[in-house]
Structure 1
């Protein structure tokens, strides 16, 4: 059975790939808006992990709407949620038997409710998998420490292949860098570089 896993090159989506690997043929899918080319970082990680990789171009109008929502809200949560739903819909329409993501139990965003998951499955005839939704951050970190080699640092210095990089760049283009720093809180980012 083939699963398309939403993939950023970070520890959560990489760990999810390892967990699914025993049961599925895993293809790592990096979704982007063709703003920065950041998806190439995800491809590099996919190669290091030994998985097939696909990049998917998302509707740029979704990005613009999400950026406007984030600026209006003053925080990224609702915009990121919009983009994640759009990404799941896009990948569900591809030729996979199942789709998956690396959302954890403790994630506030993105999240997929039970009703949303069932709707995806029913409308697209696929299975939706999120193996980390029952696992907290501390346990995820312990699992990652045993299986993956990572680098970490400020999000501006550790580029990953996720759509957040494109959203930040588009926000800077439509507004300015100050708006980006006001909307997106500074945080530590991780990127997987190899298996242990």
Structure 2
């Protein structure tokens, strides 16, 4: 059975895809706001994992809505969670099973239990999160065993994280996002796999 996995190119979604690949036919899916945005680093990461990648485009106007939401809330969490749920809901219209790399202590992005139940009831789609029971040290241990990863702050790593495009939209409006977004937010990008990688 196919599973549509939300994919940022980072270590968590990559590790989740590896785990899910044991039981499903994995198709990676990266969502962008700008249809013209190219994602060569994510294509390379997907190739290293050995899974196909599809680029998806959010509906027009969603990015502006999310910038407005960040401004009105004074922080980005609600907007990023809204974007993530939109992506999950979109894939649920195409796949019977959808997965992502959210883990045990994640707050953003993270669907609530009620949202997951609602998704299943409305669409019949199963939403699976294989890392949900894994704390960060165990995720990092497995990542170090199987993957080659590049790290850096948001904006310096060309992954598929939603936050990067939202920050860019702030700058396009002449606004400084630094007052509303975390000062130091590390990102990751898978750039290869290690020889002991098993599929």
Cα displacement (A) at 1:38: 5.6
Q: Map Cα deviations across residues 137-192 of structure 1 (whole Å, 9 max, x no partner).
A: 1111111111111011222211202322221111211242x2x1112212221111
1:92, 1:98 within 8 Å by CA — same for their partners in 2? yes
With over 3 angstroms needed to count, the CA separation of the structure-2 counterparts of 1:77 and 1:6, relative to structure 1, is same
Give structure 2 stretches of 5+ with no counterpart: 195-199
Q: Which of the two has greater helix per residue?
A: 1
**1:34 maps to which residue?**
34
What is the distance in 2 between the residues matched to 1:183 and 1:41? 27
Give structure 1 stretches of 5+ with no counterpart: none
**1:191 maps to which residue?**
189
TM-score (norm 1): 0.92
**2:87 maps to which residue?**
87
TM-score (norm 2): 0.91
**2:60 maps to which residue?**
60
What is the distance in 2 between the residues matched to 1:100 and 1:22? 13
What is the distance in 2 between the residues matched to 1:116 and 1:46? 28
Instruction: Give the length in aligned residue pairs.
Output: 193
1:97, 1:126 within 8 Å by CA — same for their partners in 2? yes
Q: Map Cα deviations across residues 106-160 of structure 1 (whole Å, 9 max, x no partner).
A: 1111111222112212222221101111111111111111111101122221120
